[in-house]
Amino acid sequence: MTTVKPIATRQAFGEALAKLGETHKEVVVLDADLSKSTKSDLFAKKFPERFFEMGISEANMIGAAAGLALTGKIPFLCSFGAFISGRFDQIRMSVSYTKAKVRIVGTHAGVGIGDDGHSQMALEDISCLRTLPEMTVLQPADDLETHAFIEELAHHPHPAYIRLTRQNVPRVHTSANKLKIGKIQSLKPGTQLLVLATGGLVGNSLEAAHELEKQGVSIEVANVSTIKPLDAEFLREALKRHKKIITVEDHYVIGGMGGAVAEFMAEAGHGKLHRIGVGEEFGQSGTPEAVMEAYGFTTPQLAKRFLSFHKA
């Protein structure tokens, strides 16, 4: 990882969106009374005539965004991820079914938000959104990848959901040149185990792998920032190199990135998988550090779980 100051991917999104608005006049932004939290306010300040404050009315916002997309605009629809998945029916019919090229932005992903508790924690959003036909599901690991994805979404041919962190996360990439939608990025080589991490836990997973390297355990770490569609080419090659794979995500293990990888491996017919995420329980309220520890997501806890699976 680089020594650049950590930044939340929601902050990187706001900055990237404001920049995108300079070169793409058809970009419009909708928010549901959360623009300071989603960071869409950075766009609103520069382009107030292209920003729509929809109030606490997410279902109406989704319908409006679909209409704008179908008339040729490029709408970015912003809210907390928990509120996005709570309006699944509107997304299903107004966006997915009509193939409207809406870019759905869900911030405050996972237990990493800490104090706000379960009502604000997006824990099932990936499960919901990845079931929809042609819906691209993204979760960038750092600011560089967030910027790259927002730029690419201006030309993306399908509706898309992008999941962002409230908490600051370290920069895990050194360059944005090869960061593309649909590609898994290997961040660290290794021969004994493959860790597939996504979003806010990529940094911790990478640190855990480096710690285990000191103990003679060689772990490859890869960033799965496109959860749908999965990078089948990378996974096929990975299964040739590794018999054991771990997935790590700040999301329910049911239906999340780990579930998508499990489906792929089941069809491939080989490989052993261990999924790390939130089990069948609700989110808790506490400091971000305490909540991350409660779910086993800290660097030392991940290192211990990686080592245990390696030895199993």
Nearest CA to 170 among 39, 292, 1, 303?
1
- Give 44's Cβ-side CA count (13 Å radius): 18
Beta strand pairing call for 160-163 and 226-228: unpaired
CB 220 within 8 A of CB 310: no
Distance CA 14, CA 35 (A): 9
Token pair in block for residue 228: 């749908």
- Choose the catalytic residue: 15, 58, 124, 249: 58
CB 255 within 8 A of CB 263: no
- Would the CA dihedral through 236, 239, 241, 245 be positive or negative? positive
Residues 6+ apart with CB under 8 A from 131: none
What b/e sequence results for 195-224 when a residue is b if at least 16 CB atoms lie within 10 Å of its CB, and e otherwise? bbbbbbbbbbbbbbbebbeeeebebbbbbb
Task: Let me know if 289 is a catalytic residue.
Answer: no
Distance CA 73, CA 94 (A): 15
Token pair in block for residue 198: 């996504």
Q: Would you call 3 exposed, middle or buried from its count of C-beta atoms within 10 A (0-12, 13-18, 19+)?
A: exposed
Q: How far is CA 203 from the centre of its chain?
A: 13
Q: How far is CA 244 from the centre of its chain?
A: 23
Active-site amino acid positions: 58
